[in-house]
A and B are shown apart, each in its own frame.
Chain A
Amino acid sequence: MDNFWDGFLLPAGIIVAQILLIVVPLLVAVAYLTYAERKVIAAMQMRLGPNVVGPFGLLQPIADGLKLLMKETIIPSGANRIVFLAAPMLTFILSLVAWAVIPFDYGMVLADINVGILYLFAISSLGVYGVVMAGWASNSKYPFLGALRSAAQMVSYEVSIGFVMITVLLLVGSLNLSDIVLAQQGGFWQWHWLPLLPMFVIFFISALAETNRAPFDLPEAEAELVAGYFSEYSSMSFGLFFLGEYANMILMSASTVILFLGGWLPPVDIAPFTWIPGPIWFCLKIALVLFGFLWVRATFPRYRYDQLMRLGWKVFLPFSLFWVVLTAGVLLAFDLVP
């Protein structure tokens, strides 16, 4: 019985506590990301944004969440019930499970697995199922069109994301996310964004496409498809999609930070900067990338679908493939292979 407590229950309890430590701040971050989005876009369009509920409108996300919870869940009579209800759950679960491998500081990671980056890639490639299942199960035109668009779009941009990850792997020589961050030690100029600048740009744009954000938000293009794949959803099933999408945005920003912006490392390796703990640097960098996401949304018009496909297959894919070969060639020629 002693063994049972030490061997199973205690570790299991610790893991559950760690999971809560990641998930609860993440959900708060998601709530305030919606607030930040509205405030930032409002500022860019010279409006005020939410400012009524609470001081500076700070309670607005909570009010929105409560409103969604109180509403009635409507399941369309023509819908495929099980798939219809499973889709938002899947989206939400997938956006949370990926955080298991994200390192917040040296050794501060839930599961420090050897194939961390592949796990991240696998989970992000599964994200399309939530969208496709929702679109199909709704048994309605607009969601279905949104789902088809989304499936093609996410598969296309995953290819270039894969190649970007390979170039980073070539520089690091490990699939472990902590190793990738540690390979960027030595301050701002040692981070991967500089030697891999084109890849950094491609990754950022592909991340926008992968999370269905403007200017690639065709799956939910409100001018053409009502609300795209979640047109038929209401109440908390809609809320789960919303949470999942925003959590995915934070996740893609976190992977951008880990791959290119030095994870938890301070930008300058001297005293006042190194005093600030790693997780804070990590969050600040994520916030920076997220601001980029919002900025792009306020700035660019939506892509036309054929142009979106052209960008993915005819521009990003050949270029990232070329850059993989170039990086490998340079590393071999100068004997820099790790």
Chain B
Amino acid sequence: MIIQALAFYLFAGVTVAAGVMVIAARNPVHSVLFLILAFFNSAGLFILLGAEFLAMILVVVYVGAVAVLFLFVVMMLDINFVEMRHGFLQYLPVGALVAIILLTELVLLFGAWVVTPVALQTMQRPIPAVEEVTNTHALGQVLYTDYFYLFQASGLILLVAMIGAIVLTLRQREGVRRQSIPTQLARRHEDSLEIKDVPTGSGI
């Protein structure tokens, strides 16, 4: 038990510290690296909760794909770091407002559990015990049955977002020499190469 508690405080502490460093680090690349550290430790927290599937998905999706693209873009930015720090205080009120709203929501949520036991009961759906079914199966059973339409809807929203991004960035540039793969594959040895026997001392 004590080891679990220690692990929890380790993961939680590193997550919070890394989160602070994301906004405190001077170099944006370091910020992204701290963000990755925070993701990673949240995955550790999920594992402590017994939600191993969510932990792995968090690592695969956020660390393995999203953060790589973040890093990819941030690495290539050419920013004057001093100038960027300059506007920091300007955005502080907005950030503080968002933080206060999030905090209020969390307080309301947990407050409801404490005040009304009914809310607690509705929250506790009959989830099968960990011994009976792995949490991958458990998630699948809920997600693809009860919430099937919502799942499909979220998929469609993502599809629309993807198409939107493609439409925004797709442009046909003039004067670009593109390789046509079918033409390339259709080329034969005989079309492009001719072997001639050249007699010594004379040209072709």
The A/B interface has a contact count, at CB < 8 Å, of 72
Tell me whether B3 and A8 are in contact (CB under 8 A): yes
Tally of chain B residues near chain A (CB < 8 A) = 26
Contact of B53 among A115, A126, A129 (CB under 8 A): A115
Contact of B71 among A8, A132, A154, A175 (CB under 8 A): A132
Q: In the complex the two chains form, what is the Cα distance from A259 to B136 in whole Å?
A: 19
Q: In the complex the two chains form, what is the Cα distance from A119 to B44 in whole Å?
A: 13
Q: In the complex the two chains form, what is the Cα distance from A113 to B29 in whole Å?
A: 33
Given known A-B contacts A132-B75, A133-B33, A158 and B65 have beta carbons under 8 A apart: yes
Given known A-B contacts A125-B63, A125-B64, A151 and B72 have beta carbons under 8 A apart: yes
Which residues of chain B are near A8, meaning CB under 8 Å? Answer: 3
Q: In the complex the two chains form, what is the Cα distance from A256 to B64 in whole Å?
A: 20
Smallest CB-CB A-B distances: 7 pairs: A125-B64, A118-B56, A122-B59, A114-B134, A122-B60, A115-B52, A115-B56
Tell me whether A114 and B72 are in contact (CB under 8 A): no
Q: Which of B63, B64, B135 has the most CB of A within 10 A?
A: B64
Which residues of chain B are near A67, meaning CB under 8 Å? Answer: none
In the complex, what's the smallest C-beta–C-beta distance from A170 to chain B, in angstroms?
Answer: 12
B181 close to chain A: CB less than 8 A: yes
| A residues 302-318 touching B (CB-CB < 8 Å) | 306-307, 310
Tally of chain A residues near chain B (CB < 8 A) = 30
A148 close to chain B: CB less than 8 A: yes
Given known A-B contacts A122-B56, A122-B59, A132-B75, A114 and B64 have beta carbons under 8 A apart: no
Chain B minimum-CB-distance residue to A136 = B75
Q: Mark A23-61, 1 if CB is under 8 A from B, else 0.
A: 000000000000000000000000000000000000000
Given known A-B contacts A118-B56, A119-B56, A125 and B65 have beta carbons under 8 A apart: yes
Tell me whether B68 and A122 are in contact (CB under 8 A): no
Chain A minimum-CB-distance residue to B67 = A129
B57 close to chain A: CB less than 8 A: yes
In the complex, what's the smallest C-beta–C-beta distance from B82 to chain A, in angstroms?
Answer: 17
| A residues 134-168 touching B (CB-CB < 8 Å) | 136, 144, 147-148, 151-152, 154-155, 158, 162
Tell me whether B59 and A114 are in contact (CB under 8 A): no
Tell me whether A158 and B134 are in contact (CB under 8 A): no
B36 close to chain A: CB less than 8 A: yes
Which residues of chain B are near A307, meaning CB under 8 Å? Answer: 179
